[in-house]
């Protein structure tokens, strides 16, 4: 079985620095990683991992005000 070696966090951060205008989805695809892995590589460097307490999040969401949600895949942007 042929396995791809995923880039280390410092390599992901370097790729982001070298490609500042690339969309996250495109950069992740070029690196062979998910967008979540791209974001996780920046934890502690501008990214804070949040606790998955969905009920607390939804309860306080009204205070945030109007937001935009974007979903994208190969076929559509919604």
What pLDDT score was predicted for residue 57? 83
- Here the CATH number for the domain that contains residue 42 is 1.10.10
- When divided into structural domains, the chain yields a total of 1
Beta carbons within 8 Å of 32's beta carbon, 6+ residues apart: 4, 6, 7
Range of the domain at 18: 1-51
Tell me if 36 is assigned to some domain. Answer: yes
What pLDDT score was predicted for residue 15? 97
Tell me if 5 is assigned to some domain. Answer: yes
pLDDT confidence band for 3 (50 / 70 / 90): low
Tens digits of per-residue pLDDT, 10-64? 999 999 999 999 999 999 999 999 999 999 999 988 888 888 888 988 888 889 8
Q: Are 27 and 19 in contact (CB under 8 A)?
A: yes
Q: Are 34 and 28 in contact (CB under 8 A)?
A: yes
pTM above 0.75, yes or no: no
pLDDT confidence band for 1 (50 / 70 / 90): very low
């Amino acid at each position: 079985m042929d396995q791809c070696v995923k880039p280390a966090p410092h390599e992901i951060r370097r790729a982001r620095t070298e490609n500042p205008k690339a969309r996250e989805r495109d950069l992740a695809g070029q690196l062979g990683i998910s967008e979540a892995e791209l974001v996780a590589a920046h934890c502690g460097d501008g990214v804070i991992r949040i606790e998955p307490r969905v009920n607390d999040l939804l309860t306080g969401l009204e205070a945030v005000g109007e937001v935009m949600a974007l979903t994208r895949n190969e076929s559509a942007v919604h």
